Structure formats: C-alpha cells, structure tokens
Structure 1
C-alpha cells in the first residue's frame, strides 16, 4: 500500500467525538485496526465540507459493537450482515464497516465476506477517489494507486474494470454521473462513460427510491450541466425520465436556482399529467409531485401584472408561482426579481364570506350554496381581492330571495 502526503489540519480529525470512537476501536483492534475512509478523506483533500465520517476496521461487527459499548459509546447494528455498525458519540454518528470483499452480487445486493486486507477492501469500492483511507494522524493511503491523483485532478474513475463494478451494483451508473457532477472537471472518464452507456438498460432493475435519491443528489450539485449532458449522450437520462429534446432551459435554470426539484422540472415536457406520472414512477413525495406538475404548466412571464401573480399565488401557492417565474426568467432572460419579491411578500387573504352569509340570504344548504360561493370567489379573485362590497356581490349572485 503506497503512502501519500498527510491531510492538512482537519477539525473533524481531532474532534472529541472522533477521538472517543477511534480510541475505542484502537483499544480492541490495535493502532492499525481502524482508518477513516471515503468521503471525509476525499472532501478534505479538495477543500470541501466534511459532513459524514466513515471508518473502516479490521474488527468484525460483533467486536466493533463490544468495543464501543466498553467505551460507553452507543452502538447501533445498522447492517451487521454487511459489517456496518453506527457509533453515536456526543450525538454524532460514525458509520463503521468491517473490511470486506464481495462474494456474490446481482446488481442490487451483495453477499460479502470479511477480510483484514485493506487492499482487498479498496478493490470492491466504486471509484478510486472513494477508495482512500487515512489514519488518525491524517496520513493518506491509496491502495488503488490512482485515488489521490483523481481527487486532486477532478477525475471520477472506476476501481478496476468499470463493467464489473457496474454489474456488481447497477446504481453505480448514476453514482458515476453524480460524482462527476460534484467533483469532476474537464470530460468524464471515457471508459467509465462507455460502460455506463453499455449497461444503461440495467437501471430498470433498480428500485425507484434508489434511482430518485441518486438523481436528486446529482441535480443538487453546484453545476450539474456537464454531467446531465453526458448522461444524455450515454443514453442514461432517457432511461430515468422521458427527457425533453433539448437542454437549453435546464442549462439556463442552473444559473438561477440550486433547487434539484426545479432543475428536474426542466427535464420534463410541458405536460402536467406526464410530470405527475414521472414523479409517481420515481416514488417522489406528494409535495414534489405537485411541484413538478405545477411547473409543467409552463414558464410564467416575469412581467406578469401584480394582479395576475396574486391570483396565481392564491390558487396555486407561492412555491409553485416562484418556480414558474424562475422558469420564465430562464426561458426569456427577463429578470423576475420584482415579481419574485411580490410573491414572497404577499399573504393571500381568506375569502371574506362563507356558507353562513349565503344562508342569511335565504338560500337553503345544498349545491346552490356551493355554486354561489364559487362564483363569488371567482369574481373576488378576478377583481384583485377587494376588501369591500362583499354583501352586495353575494346578494347579486344569490339572485332574488325565494
């Protein structure tokens, strides 16, 4: 295993919770029994925030659990069959996984065997920049021989044969594009891109929840435009959503909003029924389904009259109107700042009349009451929510007293 320069000073390395967990693992497994792995190393090398701390250990899962409990640290058996235990120290989670190798895979699940070989553990990982390890002193270890250079150069390269890695887990197709969106520079790795294209059909074998989670993480990247274009050229994007014929609106919107749901809306046709169908197929939350269907009504003119904007906010909600205004700005280039401020600042009023007021006019309860109230609401909204003349308007709509 080749050594590499140490990490720069990292607060997470010396955090009290991190020290407690590593002390517990070292006490049971020796000074080289546990190392940090994956994202915390990668992000530290490239100057990105570290949110999650993953640890790889030679200890078997049961021994990891025992070591944590001995040290008074909460141990949660989150995936013992795959060697994973979550330690919770000072209310901070640490995912600890025993070194392992794949015994059998079917593209969705894997059967693993535990090992004490760091190189063997690295060879089963997805990308070289994720197969980096570091000890408590911050010394980086790069078993694949390419992970450190990849991270620093912004390359996303599969560990070993990309076809084999994808056959082990089909989700790695989307992970390739997601990591390229977040960490890649220049062009995607040609061999990796070709392998993703060759296996694109296998995405249909994955659960909708795994696909949608990965897709939204990709779209949340600061600038996913190059990655989405690569997905399109590889025939991957169309396997997930019935993509629009061109990406101009998506490319323009990325500069205006980092919202992954709004970005996703630009990859769908202007067809609310289709948008709702795609959202349902991806098992997205109902609120997300509503946003996509509302956005699919089409971009909204950033220079729409204030009365029109207030009526839409009343009918659709502020979020849906904001989405459509941003789509309008992306499609026309006309700034929507004034309109967006109105939408954010205006609070829709409650309708000033109800069934009680209709009953006072002598209208018996029933469908007629609903018709009158609906007609009143339509006129009131069209008149831009006046705060007077309600009794006269309601009397007129109710007609002569019976």
Structure 2
C-alpha cells in the first residue's frame, strides 16, 4: 500500500516522538478492494496529548476534535486526517462506549465491528490482519469480529452497518446467524439518534444496487423499523438510478407504497431528522409527476419551473416507474441553460400596474407567454404585451 506525501509526514512526526502509527479501517479495506480512497484514518499508540505535541513539533496543525475518545484531527496542506489512540472498551450500553487507552494493537482491532474493518497498514505497505479480514474481503463476505450478538449489543447501530457494508462490499446473502440477530434486536433501532440512522441508510442507498440488501432488511423486519409500510425494494435495481443520490432513491421507495405517500414521507422525515432542504426535496419528489413523452418546449418549461436538479430527479423517478427511457431528457437538461425571466414586478408597476395579488397573476401570465414563445421575447416585447393587458 503506497502512502502519500502528507500521510508520510504525519507518520514521521509520530515516530519522531517515539510512537507508532498505522493506517486503519476503510482506507486499508478500499485499497485491497482497489477502490478509490477518500479519507485517511490513522491509529497510534501515543496518547492524545502526545499526538498534539508531536504534530506541533513538526508544524502540523492539530485540532482536538474528539479528545474523550482519543481522536485528534491533523490538518496538512488543506487535507484532514483523523488520528486515534489505540483503545479498548470498558463499558457499552448499546449507544455509547466508555473506553480506555492501550498500546495493544490487537485489543484495538478487537473492538471494531467487522473483520475487514479491522485492517491496519504501516507506511511501508505491510498489512496487519488480526481476524482474517483479508480472507473475508476475497470472498466478499461480512463477518463480525467475535460473537455477532455481543457486538450488536455493544452498539445497535451495527445492525444498520451490517446491511450497509453488505450492500457496499458483499455478494450473496448475509448469514442466517447475522440476520436472526439483527431481527432479534431490531426494536433497539428506535433508541438510536435519527442522525446516526439517517447516515447509515443514506450510505446504503448510495450503493449501486441496494435492492437485494433492502429486501433482506425487509425480510428480517429491520426496514420496517424505519419505513413502517410495505415498499417494493426491487424498484431500486433500475440502471436509471446509478449515480442518483440517496434522497431520490428514498423517494422512489416511498412512492411504491399503497398508503398516503406524503404522510409516510412526513414520518420518515421526522424519524431520520432530515434537514429542511432534504425534507423539501423529499416531499416534492413524493407529490409530483412528469410525463415521459415530452416535447422540447415542455422540457424547457419543466426545467425552468423545477430547476435542473429537481427536474432530472423527477424524470428519473417517473422513468423508472413507467419503464420509459428518459436518458435523452436528462442529457438535454444538462446542456440547456435556463434563461432568466427579463421582467419584474417593478417593471409592471412602472407602467401602471397596482401592487397586490393581481400583479403576481399578471406576471405569471407573462412568464407563461414568454415560455410558450421559447424564451425568445425580449423585455421590451414583454412590456408591450403587459400594456395590452391593462
């Protein structure tokens, strides 16, 4: 495993202070899978205060982002690196863990969730695998470290993480043991924070084809703890959804229910603690439809009305539902520059219109006339048209 320049400088700083540092977790796993590496996390046997001192001695910015859990963020050349002191759990309550620091690498590995997430690599590329994680990666199999039920009872979010990593990495089904344990403890999901649940569900939905995993979640009763109505998971296997964001897939999933979709959307919004922007987008995608046989004039109208992003998202959803090929509509939207309506309310007031609701209605009529003429009318032509309406 090749260590880049900034990572090497950070490891050197820790080593110069007498410590040891290794890359850990997702970056090592993704390197073995030959996938793009986005974030670099490191583990060290130095205590947090020592890490801060070691970094400062080498003029590397150190931010105490998680001192309670032993995490320091190093910032170097506008890149951030999380450095965490080796730990072992003292007490877990299913949501939080009380930890103590250690200098034992295997003890640190043993507190992690899955075998392929407990891999370490030093700056020379040597990989340390304490629980056969590499073997599980080779066959794309998810295994907990130790007893699955014990690990889940330490942190019930691991129920959702098991399904998320299954969708991201694995082939075949989760083992019956894992599915049964997830089912047994699924009622504990409601005790987790909405933000933690949302993050896991969104990461799962962002996988290329989350449908098989969602079916397993549904079969084991886990999905119903989040979406309490019957939904058709197989709809998310459509290739039209490759690259679509998690909210689009969530909206499409909720649209498959026979119940009141907006009420279900409101429930899911509150349960997952969506931001106002996310809520607005979800409810828009649940309450609108668009045809899949559109003229160029209609395409321009909807792109202008909804905005490029929402238009493309809605076209994808309706394309999946109808089975239509909507690639050409999305391609057109990507190159179409939405023109700015050249008229304002002040322009109408200047020619004699009175402020109020009638002004807004007149402005909307003029906008529709402008759209009907393929956005070709100038401001002067629109003003003449407005005068004729007085």
What TM-score results when the alignment is normalised by the length of structure 2?
Answer: 0.88
Moved more, 271-280 or 93-102: 271-280
Alignment of 1:125-140 (within 5 A): 125-140=112-127
* Number of residue pairs the alignment of both structures matches: 384
Q: Work out the CA distance in 1 between the residues paired with 2:229 and 2:279.
A: 17
Aligned counterpart in structure 1 of residue 52 of structure 2, from 45, 48, 65 = 65
**Aligned residue for 1:26?**
15
Which residue number corresponds to residue 121 of structure 1? 108
Residue 273 of structure 1 contacts residue 293 of structure 1 at CA under 8 Å; is this kept in 2? Answer: no
Name the counterpart of 2:6.
17
Q: Give the Cα separation in 2 of the matches to 1:99 and 1:206.
A: 25
Aligned to 1:249: 235
| CA pair 157-214 structure 1, distance change in 2 beyond 3 A | same
Q: Which runs of 5+ in 1 are unaligned?
A: 1-9
Contact between 2:14 and 2:21, CA under 8 Å: does it hold in 1?
Answer: yes
Query: Is the CA contact 2:226–2:271 (under 8 Å) kept in the aligned structure 1?
Result: no
CA RMSD of aligned residues (A): 2.6
Structure 2 counterpart SS, 1:155: coil
How far 1:111 sits from its partner (Å)? 0.9
Match of 1:217 in 2: 203
Alignment of 1:289-328 (within 5 A): 289-328=279-318
Q: Is the 8 A contact 1:129 1:147 kept in 2?
A: yes
Aligned mates of 1:25, 1:297 — CA distance in 2: 55
Pairing 1:103–2:93 present: no
What's 1:344 paired with?
A: 334
1:234-284 Cα deviation digits (max 9, x unpaired)? 222222234553124222256544422222221113734543553344232
Partner of 1:74: 61
Distance 1:308 1:228, change over 3 A: same
8 Å Cα contact 1:201/1:239 also seen in 2: yes
Secondary structure of the 1:266 match is helix
Find the aligned partners of 1:366 and 1:328 in 2 and give their Cα distance: 37
In 1, are the aligned partners of 2:96 and 2:155 still within 8 Å (CA)? yes
CA deviation string 1:320-341 (max 9, x = no partner): 2111211222223321133223
Q: Say if 2:153 is the partner of 1:164.
A: no
- Aligned pair in 2 of structure 1 residues 231, 254: CA closer, same or farther (>3 Å)? farther
Query: Contact 1:163/1:195 (CA < 8 Å) preserved in 2?
Result: yes
Would the alpha carbon gap of residues 94 and 391 (structure 1) be closer, same or farther in structure 2, given more than 3 Å must change? closer
Given the alignment of the two structures, is residue 330 of structure 1 paired with residue 317 of structure 2, yes or no? no
Give the drift of 1:128: 0.9
Match in the other structure for 2:386? 394
SS in 1 for 2:231: coil
* 348 and 73 in structure 1: CA distance in 2 versus 1, 3 angstrom threshold: closer
> Deviation per CA, 1:288-339, whole angstroms, max 9, x where unpaired?
3232222213553321233333322232222221112112222233211332
Unaligned runs of 5+ in 2: none
The DSSP-based 3-state class of the residue aligned with 2:43 is strand
SS in 2 for 1:94: strand
Task: Tell me if structure 2 keeps the 8 A contact 1:200–1:236.
Answer: yes
- Structure 1 contact 244–269 (Cα < 8 Å) conserved: no
Aligned partners of 2:113 and 2:145 also within 8 Å: yes
Counterpart secondary structure, 1:138: coil
TM-score scaled by structure 1?
0.85
CA contact (8 A) 1:36 1:53 kept: yes
Offset at residue 19 of structure 1 (A): 2.3
Please give the per-residue CA displacement for 1:314-371, whole angstroms capped at 9, x wherever unaligned: 3222222111211222223321133223333334444454434544664433343334
Q: Secondary structure at the match of 2:254?
A: coil
1:190 aligns with 2:176: yes
CA 1:90–1:158: 2 relative to 1, 3 Å = same
Distance 1:88 1:341, change over 3 A: closer
Which residue matches 1:287? 277
Aligned to 1:4: none
Tell me the secondary structure at the aligned position of residue 17 of structure 2: helix
Matched position secondary structure for 1:241: coil
Q: Are the structure 2 counterparts of residues 359 and 38 from structure 1 closer, same or farther at C-alpha, using a change threshold of 3 Å?
A: closer
Deviation at 1:149, TM superposition (A): 0.9
